[in-house]
Amino acid sequence: MFDLNNLNINNYFFGITKIFFVILAILYLAFSLIVVKQVTAMSKSVIDKFNSILIIFSYIHLIFSAILVISMLAL
């Protein structure tokens, strides 16, 4: 007989949620890489003194995106 008490619904729910979050975080990390590439390409098209600051911002964003993936995997 199938015992409902042994089935931990919470574990299944959080497991699925975790997989969803991890996929989302990986997609976001890929997007962050595109942003870095994009800012670099833009900086080459319009050369400006402040472009380096924007590139630094895009890299900081990439680092935080990687932290997000790690934090999702650690759930």
Partner 1 sequence: MNRSKDLDIVAPDDLTVEALAKSVPIVSPTQTDIKSPLSDSTKKTPEIKTSPENDINQKVYDILGHTKSPFSSFLVRPKVISFPERNQDEEIYLALRPHWIINLHWIIISIFMLFVPLFFHYFSFLNFFPTQYRFSAVLFWYLFTFIFSFEKFLDWYFDVFLVTNQRVVDINFNNLLNKHFAEASLDVIQDVSSSVKGILGTFFNYGDVLIQTAAEINQINFEKVPNPEKIIKLLKELRDLSEGDSHV
Q: 18's torsion region: left (phi>0), alpha (psi -120 to 50) or beta?
A: alpha
Q: Which helix (H) or strand (E) holds 54?
A: helix 51-73
Judged by CB under 8 A, which of 8, 16, 17, 23 binds partner 1? 17
C-alpha–C-alpha distance, residues 41 and 54, integer Å: 12
Binding mask 29-68 for partner 1 (x = CB under 8 A): --xx-xx--xx-xx-xxxxxxx---x--xx--x--xx-xx
Between 7 and 67, name the residue whose CB sits nearer to partner 1.
67
Per the CB < 8 A criterion, the answer to whether 21 and 68 are in contact is no
Beta carbon nearer to partner 1, 5 or 29: 29
Q: Angle at CA 64, nearest 5°, toward 37 and 21?
A: 100
- Rule CB under 8 A: which residues touch partner 1? 14, 17, 21, 24-25, 28, 31-32, 34-35, 38-39, 41-42, 44-50, 54, 57-58, 61, 64-65, 67-68, 71-72, 74-75
